[in-house]
Structure 1
Amino acid sequence: MAESRHALFSQFAASDWNGFLKGVEKEGLRVDRNGFIAQTPHPESLGSTLTHPRITTDYSESLLELITPVCKSTTEMLESLRNIHRFVQQKLGDEVFWAGSMPCELDGDASIPIAEYGTSNIGRLKHVYRQGLAVRYGRMMQSIAGAHYNLSLPDEFWQKWQSLLGNQDSLKDFKSDQYFWLIRNFRRRSWLLMLLFGASPALDASFVANVSHHLDRFDANTWYGLDATSLRMGDLGYHNNAQSSLNICFNKLDSYTGALHRAIHTPWPAYESIGTSREDQFIQINTNVLQIENEYYSPVRPKRTTEREEKPIQALQARGVEYIEVRCLDLDPFSPVGVNESQIDFLDLFLLDCLLSDSPRIGDAECERMDDNYDDVVAHGRDRTLTLCRAGERLAVGQAASELLDRLEPLAEKLDSWTGSQTYRSALKAQRDKVPETGIWSVPSAQVVTAMEASGMGHREWVLEMSRRHQQTLRDEALEPDVRAAFEAMTESSLTEQKQLEESDTQPFGEFLEQYLKS
């Protein structure tokens, strides 16, 4: 019962509570001064995208990804993220770091350069994987950016929690089981995050130049969803038919890894017709439903840090779940670093309650209802007449949101009592204020549309203006000398490491890929 787990948690004392471990991976496009996707290579002054621990690229050579270390507080994590931004902004010259999730002006697939990682076999593998994404889905979808939030709880928490539950499994197995418990409730409630944090209701007309859609015209260069919260997470974003057939189960670790393993080894006719090479160049890793695990798009993932050349499935099976990756967060275009403090603190509260609430296994019928709720909020979340399915009945989206937020109040009070602060109650209030029972909702998607209307700008011009403001703000904030020196050292070290990898790599790539697939 939900109450029994919350009651067990009440047996923790302030001295037992060590808080959360957290980190963020924040993506964003480099664009030129006019708001067109950058055609330049990744700046060498930012180091090697293959080996740098803090600065890399995602799909495109122009799509930066900034990665914080594991931090023990929101303050520490946001300062780390801000320092990475400060360093990057100093190195971009005339280019701008795009502040929105939906991309800048594009000119079809050819305008989106695929990321390069050098000539080592592992570097070439990363590039071929991205070539595979291009031939499977097109490059346009891969130009979208977001923030991934990673959260775990320290082993001291898990040991106490395991004792209170009377569980006799190994700590590794117990933690994995409990993280999946959390994930099941996350999937039931993730629609709320799309309402509270969805911030991509509009997009540049170039993104859908040759695509049929049902969006409304905002201006000559902008389309938007009248009630949409996140076009990034809708049908125009991360979506494809092959993956819709997967039916990935999040009930337990072995069923999850088993389903992914089958997908990586199950041929898909459309991909077989493409083949793995063209004119002696590899264009995808394989012709199966998934090339690798990371190709599976999901709002949440169980994760385990991998060793070099180790596959995510292998790491999970060998060492269990280490942390949860929340992948459905749009960039906050009003924040210089794409996320904000009250958002992160609320996510901690939200995820902890997912762990402490009853979480039965998910059957096919419930899975379909959860997906429908999520998709409805993504497409129509700002329509207050929208109803969601809950426990066999329909409930207005505002009422459903209020009830979920209300249930978090006792937990917020408990955590704040342990730390002598208002952190979690303030974060909870900030979310409640977005969706009042009466009056205008101020969810981020609505704020974006309002800001564009007030400025007289469309998506392209407004996001470019916000990006320039953030750039100036961050460039005005000088890095501490020791922090700057540390980043410069990471840059040089990463370039040296990549060079050493390339010089020591003598195996032909075809043989390397064959061994990789067999492993």
Structure 2
Amino acid sequence: MFRLIQGEHFTLTDEDLTVTQLNFEQRLAALQSSDFAHTLTQIQRGVEREGLRIKASGALSQTGHPKALGSALTHESITTDFSESLLEFITPPADSSKTTVEQLNDIHKFVLNNLDDELLWPMSMPCFIDDDNGIPIADFGSSNVGKMKQVYRIGLKNRYGSMMQAISGVHFNFSLSGDFWKQWAQLHDTASSQDQVDADYFALIRNYRRTCWLIPYLFGASPALCSSFLKDKKHQLPFEKVGKGTYYMPYATSLRMSDLGYTNAEQSSLEICYNQLDNYVRLLRDAMQRPSTRFSQYAAGEDGHWQQLSHNILQIENELYAPIRPKQPTKAMEKPSDALVRRGVSYIEVRSLDVNPFDPNGIDQQQMDFLDVYLVTCLLMPSDELTLDTIATARENMNKVVLEGRDPELMLDNDGHQVNMRTWAGELFDKFDKVAAVFDQAHNTGQFSEAVAAQRAKVTDSAKTPSGQILEILLKDDADNSALGLLLAKEYARAYDSLDYTHLTQQDFEAMATTSLQAQQDVESADEEDFATFIKNYFNEPPAKKTPDRVRR
């Protein structure tokens, strides 16, 4: 990147783009125009919610994926993640957070009505699990693609252990409309193109990476965990004990996001770039080609033995653990990086949300409304390129907040300056207030300002955070995390039982299940090559290249 005309413009040499540099206030003022503000009503969002199936006793379910739910391989809304016991619910894109909540209600109701005596664990950190080997790996059937999914998960078990894979989270998918990007291009006096959309999504992502420590503070809900999770794990964290076997840290917000949780030290050397799409894809592909000494001990097809898909740092691109990802829907057997290269960024996936144990769906409407405001604010703020130092700083800020976030004296690094976390959060919320007002005007509501105000109250009083509320309950009653989780799981099952369907009916879900089971059979019968050849062809496929002119129509 090089700068021209005394910093008023910059040119992305690899994209051949020119963008006028505007500050936050200038962009905010433009967004308030009726044509621009209207595009905020076209935002699409969706949710991917994970949750463990448990027995009525609170122990992990050992049964296979219920046939009544359909095929985990081909169902569009109900699948599994790492384990047969780890369900994942996916909502289609919607232009209303209220609709997304209703969609989640429908899915949860159908699933819980077909779990017999089982329940859905309402927390991110798993229930009591005595042994890693008691976590059944997901089975996607006998097709090559189904086997690939299972071998990938066997690789995850060998690389990181099954216990880490039993952690649940919520992913929030967010996209701005074509009309928005046309208005955005006019504001910045540039052509409306997919290249420009990609560049601006990456600008949003960079600001998210700088400030996403705020997410575990506001929504982190895993300050405590079951002692079984720490079995055979080496750590130096100063845990305290409550109940019979629950360990916690007094100021922790999200142990799920700590080094104990869903992280990967092997990937720390990758330094994935979020400055341009081209570099992001190049480094991601390189990680899939770079051998790992640590993982070389596991077979990757040698003599027909499959303990993982490859010996490389990443088996497939989905193995990259990141708090946010640029995304493009993939076609059958298409690699995510190839989809990005061919069609550009379609949406972003926020991956740093704990399951909200105080909401049956694991996420509530107010959280979604706040995330809308937060992500648009990240786009409106100027976004310098990240360096190795700033990436390391962002990572360190995140680590501090997940372990010590509710410490009123906690200091973070803001562009080389040590600042109190709450002071920095207050500065961000001043921006959120202004953006929320534009959202409210566009939607003729007050819900976005209310969502921001509710989160600001957590900055003022950390006891209002989910992590603070959980610890208050556990310490007051000297109770275990497992007891609280089981109590909530039973309460939510009763709540869904009395809830009416909104968008789909029981018959609709039954038809979807039947269709998905038939689709799995069709995939299995269509295989014409052995598994080893299938995997070889998948990895040997030449990487996609960008077409020269990707103008948005």
Give the aligned residue type for 1:163. Q
Give the structure 1 partner of residue 346 of structure 2.
322
Residue equivalent to 2:545: none
Bigger mean CA deviation after superposition, 499-508 or 286-295:
499-508
- 2:364 pairs, out of 320, 323, 340, with 340
Q: Point out the more displaced range, 426-435 or 14-23.
A: 14-23
The range that moved more, 147-156 or 31-40, is: 31-40
Match of 1:160 in 2: 183
Q: Which moved more, 1:91-100 or 1:13-22?
A: 13-22
CA contact (8 A) 1:229 1:382 kept: yes
User: Aligned partners of 1:506 and 1:109: how far apart in 2?
Assistant: 35
Letter of the 1:118 partner, please give it. G
Instruction: Indicate the residue corresponding to 1:362 in structure 2.
Output: 386
1:422-467 Cα offsets, whole Å, 9 max, x none, are 011100111011122xx56311100111122344420111111111
Q: Aligned pair in 2 of structure 1 residues 108, 166: CA closer, same or farther (>3 Å)?
A: same
Question: Following the alignment from structure 1 to structure 2, what is the Cα–Cα distance between the partners of residues 140 and 278?
Answer: 27
Aligned-partner SS, 2:464: coil
Alignment counterpart, residue 147 of structure 1, candidates 160, 170, 178: 170
Of 458, 478, 481, the match for 1:434: 458
Deviations 1:167-211 (A, max 9, x none): 12x621111111001000000110011110000001111111212
1:385 aligns with 2:409: yes
Of 293, 296, 311 in structure 1, the residue corresponding to residue 317 of structure 2 is 293
Q: What is the percentage of aligned positions where both structures have the same residue?
A: 41
Hey, what does 1:46 align to over in structure 2? 69
Structure 1 residues 12 and 223: alpha-carbon distance in aligned structure 2, compared to 1, 3 A threshold:
same
Which deviations, in whole Å up to 9, do the C-alpha atoms of 1:353-391 show, x marking residues without a partner? 000110011112211211111110011001111111113
Query: 1:82-120 deviations in whole A, cap 9, x for unaligned?
Result: 110010010111111000000001122101111000001
Among 445, 450, 461, the residue aligned to 2:472: 450
SS of 2:221 mapped into structure 1: coil
1:119-518 residue pairs with structure 2 within 5 A?
A: 119-168=142-191, 171-213=193-235, 214=237, 215-277=239-301, 280-436=304-460, 441-479=463-501, 483-518=505-540
Residue identity matched to 1:58: D
Give the SS at the match of 1:271.
coil
Structure-2 change in CA distance of 1:134 and 1:440 (3 Å): closer
Q: Residues 328 and 345 of structure 2 are in contact (CA less than 8 Å); yes or no, is this contact kept in structure 1?
A: yes
Deviations 1:59-90 (A, max 9, x none): 11100000001111000011001110010010
Indicate if the aligned counterparts of 1:435 and 1:441 stay in contact, CA closer than 8 A: no
Is this contact kept in 1: 2:327–2:349, CA < 8 A? yes
SS at match of 1:331: coil
**Which stretch has the larger CA shift, 187-196 or 446-455?**
446-455
- State the Cα distance separating 1:17 from its structure 2 match: 4.2
What residue in structure 1 maps to residue 111 of structure 2?
88
SS in 2 for 1:435: helix
Q: SS state of the match for residue 255, structure 1?
A: helix
Structure 1 range deviating more: 4-13 or 310-319: 4-13
Q: What corresponds to 2:130 in structure 1?
A: 107
CA distance in 1: counterparts of 2:30 and 2:466, whole angstroms: 36
User: How many Å separate the matches in 1 of 2:45 and 2:203?
Assistant: 19
Q: List structure 1 runs of 4+ shifted beyond 4 angstroms.
A: 14-17
CA distance in 2 between counterparts of 1:506 and 1:367 reads 45
Aligned residue for 2:13? Answer: none
Q: What residue in structure 1 maps to residue 24 of structure 2?
A: 2
- The answer for unaligned runs of 5 or more in structure 1 is none
After superposition, the C-alpha distances for 1:312-346 in whole angstroms (9 at most, x for unaligned) are: 01100000000000000000001000001111100
Deviation at 1:302, TM superposition (A): 0.2
> Match for 1:244: what amino acid?
S
Unmatched segments (≥5 aa) in structure 2? 1-22, 542-553
Q: Secondary structure at the match of 1:433?
A: helix
Q: TM-score, normalised by structure 1?
A: 0.97
SS in 2 for 1:181: helix
SS of structure 2 residue aligned to 1:269: coil
Deviation at 1:7, TM superposition (A): 3.2
Partners in 2 of 1:414 and 1:165 — Cα distance? 19
- Aligned residues: CA RMSD: 1.5
| Alpha-carbon distance between aligned partners in 2 of 1:52 and 1:482, rounded to the nearest angstrom | 15
Contact (CA 8 Å) 2:224, 2:247: kept in 1 or not?
yes
Which residue does the alignment assign to 2:17?
A: none
Within 2, Cα distance between the matches of 1:77 and 1:472? 21
Cα offset for 1:15?
4.4
* AA partner of residue 387 (structure 2): G
SS in 1 for 2:162: coil
Would you say the 8 A contact 1:455–1:462 is kept in 2?
Answer: no
Q: Displacement, 1:226?
A: 1.3
Q: What's 2:98 paired with?
A: 75
| 1:277, distance to aligned residue in structure 2 (A) | 4.1
**One-letter code aligned to 2:359:** S
Structure 1 pair 363–482 and aligned structure 2 pair: CA distance change class (3 A): closer
| Maintained 8 Å contact 2:48/2:170 | yes
Q: What is the number of equivalent residue pairs in this alignment? A: 516
Q: Return the alpha-carbon distance in structure 2 between the equivalents of residues 216 and 297 of structure 1.
A: 28
The code of the aligned residue for 1:499 comes to Q
What secondary structure is seen at the aligned counterpart in 1 of 2:424? helix
Q: Match for 1:306: what amino acid?
A: T
